[in-house]
Chain A
Amino acid sequence: GAGVSQTPSNKVTEKGKYVELRCDPISGHTALYWYRQSLGQGPEFLIYFQGTGAADDSGLPNDRFFAVRPEGSVSTLKIQRTERGDSAVYLCASSLIGLGAGGNTEAFFGQGTRLTVV
């Protein structure tokens, strides 16, 4: 597709379960980002991939959160032992090059995955 695609659009899970959220970036985009948006708040940075590697994972809240991008395209955000506080909209974005790489570029966002932990 032409834009960033995230699946599923909605996910309801029980506390303590494991979930995976998928992101398909725009073809050819080397940079991929995950953000988390809680109700009434701005998106909060989680992790940034440049190619296959995590260039900055300083936003991951704890070791229950993990993300991969094994082939430099699709990324999966994994959350173990989910807690009610993990409920939020998880946004994925991609850009042609990294936003801080010195070029004039922009991040395109997907529609997000709404995660609800009950």
Chain B
Amino acid sequence: AQSVTQPDIHITVSEGASLELRCNYSYGATPYLFWYVQSPGQGLQLLLKYFSGDTLVQGIKGFEAEFKRSQSSFNLRKPSVHWSDAAEYFCAGGGSSNTGKLIFGQGTTLQVKP
């Protein structure tokens, strides 16, 4: 079955430290993958997306993610975290079957220490 897993429910990092949020997917074919961020009371904002081509994708707010087929992963990274990055982060994926359905991970809550 298709699935997206975020192994870390909660992560705390110090401001200025690097960040990596993990995402693993299970799809038969090449998936399309997204990372969204959700602040309290806000809607989901797209950080970046992968459809095909270059496996390292750049997004907004200094985020990047790397698609690794061999590891079925699409981890989100940022070299230096800012206090404003504290939020809930969701990885989501879909297949090529044109259902339009996105499967979301459970989310990772990021806390940033001053």
Contacts and interface: CB of A to CB of B under 8 A. Distances in A.
Interface of A: 4, 31, 33, 35, 40-45, 48, 50, 55-56, 58-59, 91, 93, 95, 98-102, 104, 106-112
A95 B105 CA distance: 20
Interface of B: 4, 6, 32, 34, 36, 42-46, 49, 51, 90, 92, 94-107
A56 B101 contact: yes
Contacts of A106: 34, 46, 49
Contacts of B49: 104, 106
A109 B44 contact: yes
A110 B44 CA distance: 8
Given A100-B95, A100-B96, A106-B34, A33 B102 contact: yes
Contacts, number: 82
Contact of A99 (B36, B94, B106): B94
A55 to B, nearest CB: 6
B28 to A, nearest CB: 13
Given A42-B104, A43-B90, A106-B49, A48 B44 contact: no
Contacts of B4: 42
Question: Among A4, A43, A109, which residue has the most Cβ atoms of chain B within 10 A?
Answer: A43
Given A33-B102, A100-B100, 15 more contacts: A40-B106, A42-B92, A43-B44, A43-B92, A55-B98, A55-B100, A59-B101, A91-B44, A102-B96, A104-B51, A106-B46, A107-B34, A107-B102, A110-B43, A112-B43
Given A41-B106, A42-B107, A100-B95, A50 B100 contact: yes
A107 to B, nearest CB: 7
A44 B3 CA distance: 12
Contact of B94 (A42, A100, A108, A110): A100
Contact of B32 (A4, A56, A99): A99
Question: Among A42, A95, A108, A111, which residue has the most Cβ atoms of chain B within 10 A?
Answer: A42
